[in-house]
Amino acid sequence: RCCRTTEKTEGDGLMAENEMVERFWQKVDRGDLLACWPWTAHRKKNRSGMPYGTFRAGTMRAAHRIAWEIANQRSVPPNLVVRHTCDNSVCCNPAHLLLGTQRDNVLDRYERRRDNHVRGSQHGNAKLTETDVVEIRLLLINGHSQRQIANRFGVSQHPIKEIANGRLWRHV
């Protein structure tokens, strides 16, 4: 069975599970098969402020995980997460839900630019500009030392090293 319940039941518990599934889908605005199906009941924000539907199925659980379990008739395997291919955190359309690792989920967020990280000179602590980084790369190519470049731009040697190694300012 996919969704555990603590309700007292007759027989093997299928009646309680069917009631729970019916109660669950009543809280989802199901429409077009290709569209998002938003969760209409209680929502809780995660650490980054994204709302996620929650549903009591014995314990409070993420609605999109339950939607995946109902559709696939099995529990989400340990160490895996249910990802939204639609980037809509309240969507419960099983066609938009996909299993993956937390690493997959983070890569999705990064590739789809949902990470809310301000890049480059737009960052409040930036001491360099995109133009500076282009010039730094040219100076590195022409043999200038990282220390010389750091002194010229008024920064420590560390960001110059990170630029040289391709770990900082990758978007430039």
**Residue 108: its pLDDT value, please?**
82
| The pLDDT of residue 121 is above 90 | no
99 in Cβ contact with 80 (< 8 Å): yes
Confidence of residue 161 (pLDDT cuts 50, 70, 90): very high
**Residue 68: its pLDDT value, please?**
97
**Residue 5: its pLDDT value, please?**
41
Which helix (H) or strand (E) segment is 60 a member of?
A: strand 59-62
Which of 35, 15, 39, 13 has the alpha carbon at shortest distance from 26?
Answer: 39
Q: pLDDT tens, 65-85? A: 999 999 999 999 999 999 999
Which of 161, 141, 165 has the alpha carbon at shortest distance from 150?
Answer: 161
**Residue 53: its pLDDT value, please?**
96
**Residue 7: its pLDDT value, please?**
42
Q: The tokens of 150 are what?
A: 């750091």
Q: pLDDT tens, 42-58? A: 999 987 778 999 999 88
Residue 73: what residue type?
A: Q
Q: Rounded distance, CA 71 to CA 157, Å?
A: 54
Which of 76, 51, 54, 73 has the alpha carbon at shortest distance from 63?
Answer: 54
